[in-house]
Structure 1
Amino acid sequence: MKLENWVRVRLNESQMLVYAAEAEARGIPISTYLRDRLASADLMREELTSIRAAMIDMGETMDELRDQVAERLVAPTQETQDTGEPTAIEIETLLLLRALSGSQNRQMVTAEIERQGLKPFRIPGPPTRSR
């Protein structure tokens, strides 16, 4: 794609030095570095918009799920009536979803769980040794 349009940008000296050093470290002209940086910011903005929309949908879904869990606690099924513990399929599904999601998505989900007033599931780390 041929680049035909020019944009002039004024930078203070410290910005210019930082951007020029970063461009030089990558072995590209400063104009290419700034163009790539702008494109990256656009992608990030689109992803954030998508994540926000998903969180709104998830919030509605979480409200529905919370209501279902509350109903289930009032009238437990035969499968969960004995112990009240999660079933193997629930744990397996949870672990598979956690393995597929990135840490940023897990942080958002954890924040939503806490916003809902629930205690988020945390995988315990390795035991620490005291001296």
Structure 2
Amino acid sequence: MKLENWVRVRLNESQMLVYAAEAEARGIPISTYLRDRLASADLMREELASIRAAMIDIGETLDELRDQVEKQPIASIKENQVTGEPSAVQIETLLLLRAMTGIQTLQMVTAEIERQGLKPFRIPGPPTRSR
């Protein structure tokens, strides 16, 4: 893509020295360095907007889950507490959180649970064949 448009930017001396040093360290012209910084800032703003939207969705989902729990008969909640079995809401929340996290984080958390002497929740998979 040919860059045909240009913009003049005024910088104070300290800004110019910092940006020039950063550009020189990367072996690129200062104009390229500044253009890359602007593009990076644009990407960050887009990612932040996406995260904010996801957080709003999570908040709405939590509100819906809270409403469902409030409507759930007290007897079934007490039954889950007595038997120690996780409720559907707990399992759904766990699965949603696992879907949002990376495998390394999941492994780290699982290792910590085991280190504390607890049994981590595992999703049953297909039976494995023994050789």
- Residue in structure 1 matched with residue 66 of structure 2 by the alignment: 66
Query: Structure 1 regions of 5+ residues with no counterpart?
Result: 104-121
Match of 2:102 in 1: 100
Q: Give the residue type in structure 1 aligned to 2:102.
A: L
CA–CA distance in structure 2, aligned partners of residues 59 and 102 of structure 1: 26
Structure-1-length-normalised TM-score: 0.63
1:98 Cα deviation after fit:
5.5
Cα RMSD (Å): 3.6
Return the TM-score normalized by structure 2.
0.63
Q: 1:86 is matched by which residue type in structure 2? A: P
Q: What corresponds to 1:106 in structure 2?
A: none
Residue identity matched to 1:83: T
Query: In the alignment, which residue of structure 1 is the partner of 2:82?
Result: 82
Higher relative contact order (CA 8 A, sep 6+): 1
Closer, same or farther: CA 10–71 of 1 in aligned 2, 3 Å:
same
2-structure distance, mates of 1:58, 1:98: 11
AA of the residue aligned to 1:22: E
Shift >4 Å, 4+ stretches: 122-127
How many residues in Structure 1 have an aligned counterpart in Structure 2?
Answer: 109
Summarize the Cα distance change of 1:49–1:68 in structure 2 as closer, same or farther, 3 Å threshold: same
Report the structure number with the largest CA radius of gyration: 2
Unaligned runs of at least 5 residues, structure 2? 117-131
Report what 2:35 is aligned to.
Answer: 35
CA gap of 1:73–1:83, structure 2 versus 1, over 3 A, is farther
CA separation in 1, counterparts of 2:104 and 2:15? 32
Partner residue in 1 for 2:13: 13
Cα 1:60–1:98 shift into 2, 3 Å: closer
